[in-house]
Chains A and B, each alone.
Chain A
């Protein structure tokens, strides 16, 4: 399995080197990769049908308990087949759609990275690797949406999509970590084996659920995060087909399905899913009425379909799981078909404006057949699988655990509106008379029109013979979700009951609506006025506000004045260290360990205090430097008093050198400026004194703790025995820590080179400020 996932990544790397080959007439060969994977996954069907689960595991980061585990069960298999199957068609379709495009190789690269990441996502058993693949899909989606990177709208949509799905990725990471803490494992299989009460009763259960929902709702474009998906339609149509309708947007659905047996069944889980799903499906189905761009119609109906899926999973019954599983297949088949036919229309006529398109059946007959079958399936008219999906959905909704009647009304309205959307996208462009300007429209090559036909035919075959998918796909999915797979029996004819009546009502009302309400630009602009209250513009306003806040923050804290930075750093240091020390400071130094103060020391202390104050307050630079020299020399005396002859010598020579250097340079500098006002000086003075006081108190606190001289004792004992030197400080420097000293010397050398360079540097006349 791991090689199946890696194949896509390897192909993407290969494209870096062999891009030219796949850009030309051999482009279609790249579709062999998803085809091969599709066949590979097909052969797992018998095993999965028997109820087995295929597992693989590799050590990844064993120290963190992160293993690269892969599991293939019914749910994964359904997604794998969709990813590779539709992937195959899309790869082939692209070879004609972007024929001889300058960056076709890049496109295939992104696409195969996406495919590999998506496979990894649905096969991962480890939640950390699931998260990694999840992010990879977001990133490849970003590149694909922004593929036409010369257009501003594309770049903007790509950023919006990345922002929203990236936010979701963060939720996912936090969610799986919380989940890992609750269960003590990162493996989904192990989570499934735990007793559900243990997880659901945990105090962080709600947190984990909310975080996972955050991830799923952003990825699967649920209200109010749905707005990135219509924007993502800026991508070339194959991308919309593949990522933003059939696979990637279903990752959120997958996530929720995957965790249903682990976390599902609680009220917060079910109610949230039902409510969010219902709002999404109604809101966006309604919105699709106001679009004139074919892809816009399809985008909103996709969001609506995703809402239906969330809604169905939320009900948590075997019936609803079955309906969801069937509807995933239904939707993938008809929506991909419609996207592909829309792409053909766009490619051949140059427009996607549905008000300008009609009568295309005369020039694009095979495409029209595919589109009409898809539209019928989307409307849920027999004998397509769409009918089956709709019946199951109605059946499940009628038995919903809460407010079943209201939900039934909601789902029926949604289905009516979706029927309208499907008809507009699949039938409207092909009916009526052909306008003059579209007379010359030509049929595209077979690589473009065969994929939608194949998908449409599958819609029909599965509809007539639902037993093909019943045992192989639907039952394993339902049992992976924790439903009773034995109860499932798919059939086109369910008998004449309430569900059938609802179906008839849907079809009748929807068709009437289709004939009454035509998509028009007027309506689109009318609804556009409400845009200012939509989540999208709220998000944009939030972004603008956030930018203002950031720049305000930067102006205040990052204003480019060194002393301001120092001030803030010291201020917070005092605040935080001081806060910790309040109440923890004991002041209990044992007086017996303190050494006595002799007369000389007192004198040194007084001299140093005076010198420091003089350095700070003198208005002459020369006296400041001299006073600083005095400070250095008194420190030198302290070293002499307290048994540090080497330090005293070093301090003495260095201090002298510094003062000399300073004086040499000083006469070239201007006098001190008296710029700062009193207030500033007092403010800085208070801060400095507080800081100094803090350090002094800290020092005294440390002195009251016992000291560890183990290291010093080691050096002292071994100084002569091992290194044959009697001055221990010197021995440490040149022997025990000789390498450090050598590096120190190199640092000094670098400084010396720098000084030399600065002194010898001759500026050109133009560089000087006159």
Chain B
């Protein structure tokens, strides 16, 4: 499964970069989201995956009795997911706003400053 996950991570990175390289702002945001997902999955994979052993201490014990998944990558990813949501929602609203003002979704057209146009 690790190999399949590595392929998935690669695919997410590739698609993310490809979307970022497009001219449309919406595609740019989708690209960033895909890239973010890829990064999360990469951290998850590199923290070593363990099946069916969540890092939760059993009901009647004070310590783990058997093996458990490493909690540190999970804590990192949880933070990353939440933060990236902040970024995404801000970006989405920004695109909406920018579109309302300049009436374009094309990054190249947004490039022109007042002096050029």
Is A413 interfacial (CB-CB < 8 Å)? no
Interface flags for A193-229 (1: CB within 8 Å of B; 0: not) read: 0000000000000000000000000000000000000
B50 — which chain A residues lie within 8 A by C-beta?
A: 642-643
A694 surroundings in chain B (CB, below 8 A) = 10
Q: Which residues of chain A are near B37, meaning CB under 8 Å?
A: 631-632, 635
| B77 shortest CB reach to chain A, Å | 6
CB of A724 to closest CB in B, whole Å: 10
Contacts of B45 in A (CB 8 A): 699, 703
**Chain A residues numbered 586-625 whose CB sits less than 8 Å from any CB in chain B:** 589, 593-597, 601-602, 605, 608-609, 612-613, 615-616, 621, 624-625
Contact B46 A744 (CB under 8 A): no
Judge if A641 is at the interface, Cβ distance under 8 Å: yes
| Total chain A interface residues with beta-carbon distance under 8 A | 103
Chain B interface SS verdict (over half): helix
Contact A751–B81 (Cβ < 8 Å): no
- A699 lies within 8 A of B54 (CB): no
| B34 and A631 within 8 A (CB) | yes
Interface code B69-92, partner A: CB below 8 Å = 1, 0 otherwise? 111101101110111111111101
Interface of A is mostly: helix
Task: Select one of A605, A624, A632, A696 contacting B10, CB under 8 A.
Answer: A696
Given A563-B21, A563-B107, A767-B101, A642 and B83 contact (CB-CB distance below 8 Å)? no
In the bound assembly, the distance between CA atoms of A416 and B5 in angstroms comes to 86
B57 near A661: Cβ-Cβ < 8 Å: no
Which one of A639, A689, A733 lies within 8 Å of B79 (CB-CB)?
A733
User: B46's contact among A570, A597, A645, A699, by CB below 8 Å, is which?
Assistant: A699
Contact B57 A650 (CB under 8 A): no
Task: Assess whether A678 is interfacial by the CB under 8 Å rule.
Answer: no
A383 to B51, CA, bound (A): 102
- Please state if B14 and A712 are interface contacts (CB–CB under 8 Å): no
Q: Contacts of B26 on A, CB cut-off 8 Å?
A: 621, 624, 666, 669, 672
Q: Which residues of A contact B30 (CB under 8 A)?
A: 615, 624-625, 628
Distance of B45 from chain A, by nearest CB (Å): 6
- The interface residues of chain B lying within 8 Å CB-to-CB of A729 are 55, 71, 74-75, 78
Assembled-state Cα–Cα distance A612/B40 (Å): 16
Question: A672-692 vs B: 1/0 string, CB under 8 Å?
Answer: 110110000000110111011
Q: Does A651 sit at the interface, judged by CB under 8 A?
A: yes
A residues 420-474 near B (Cβ < 8 Å) are none
Beta-carbon contact of B21 and A684 below 8 Å: yes
CB atoms of A570 and B6 under 8 A apart: no
CB-CB < 8 A to B94: which residues of A? 758
Q: Residues of B contacting A732 with CB < 8 Å?
A: 71-72, 75
Q: Which residues of A contact B103 (CB under 8 A)?
A: 769
Which residues of A in the span 310-358 have a Cβ within 8 Å of any Cβ on B?
none
Taking CB atoms, residues of chain A closer than 8 Å to B42 are 695, 699
Q: In the complex, which residue of chain A has the Cβ closest to the Cβ of B47?
A: A707
**Does the CB pair B2–A758 fall under 8 Å?**
no
Contact B79 A707 (CB under 8 A): no
Do residues A641 and B74 form an inter-chain contact, with CB atoms below 8 A?
no
Whose C-beta in chain A lies nearest to the C-beta of B46? A702
Fill in one digit per residue for A743-756: 1 if any B CB lies within 8 Å of its CB, else 0: 01001101110110
- On chain A, the residues within 8 Å of B54 by CB distance are 643-645
Partner of B63, one of A615, A687, A711, A721: A721
Q: Is the CB of B46 within 8 A of A646?
A: no
A406 to chain B, nearest CB (A): 63
**In the bound complex, do residue B85 and residue A692 qualify as a contact, i.e. CB atoms below 8 Å apart?**
no
In the docked arrangement, what's the CA distance between A650 and B44, Å? 14
Q: Which of B4, B87, B107 has the most CB of A within 10 A?
A: B4
Kindly state the separation between the CA atoms of A119 and B33 in the bound complex, as whole angstroms.
Answer: 61
Asked whether A712 and B71 contact (CB < 8 A) given A647-B77, A699-B46, A717-B63, the answer is yes
For residue B108, which residues in chain A have a CB less than 8 angstroms away from its CB?
Answer: 561
Q: Which residues of B contact A621 (CB under 8 A)?
A: 26
Contact with A along B1-41 (1 / 0, CB 8 A): 11111111111111111111111101110100110011011
A748 touches which of B10, B12, B49, B82 (Cβ 8 Å): B82
Whether the Cβ atoms of A642 and B44 lie closer than 8 Å is yes
Which A residues are CB-close (under 8 A) to B56?
645, 726-728
Are B85 and A721 in contact (CB-based, < 8 A)?
A: no
User: Across the interface, which residues of B come within 8 angstroms of A605, CB to CB?
Assistant: 4, 8
3 closest A-B pairs (Cβ-Cβ)? Answer: A692-B14, A696-B10, A751-B86
**Can you name 28 A-B residue pairings with CB atoms under 8 Å?**
A561-B108, A562-B20, A594-B2, A594-B3, A595-B1, A628-B33, A643-B69, A644-B77, A661-B92, A666-B26, A669-B95, A672-B24, A684-B17, A684-B21, A688-B13, A692-B13, A694-B10, A696-B7, A699-B42, A716-B57, A716-B71, A728-B68, A732-B75, A740-B79, A747-B83, A750-B86, A751-B86, A751-B89
Q: Which residues of A contact B (CB under 8 A)?
A: 560-563, 566-567, 570, 589, 593-597, 601-602, 605, 608-609, 612-613, 615-616, 621, 624-625, 628, 631-632, 635, 638-639, 641-647, 650-651, 654, 657-658, 661-662, 665-666, 668-670, 672-673, 675-676, 684-685, 687-689, 691-696, 699-700, 702-703, 707, 709, 711-712, 715-717, 719-721, 726-729, 732-733, 737, 740-741, 744, 747-748, 750-752, 754-755, 758-759, 761, 763, 767-769
18 new A-B contacts, CB < 8 A, other than A668-B100, A703-B2, are A597-B1, A605-B4, A609-B8, A609-B11, A632-B37, A643-B51, A645-B54, A658-B85, A661-B88, A661-B89, A673-B106, A688-B14, A692-B12, A699-B42, A712-B70, A728-B56, A733-B78, A751-B89
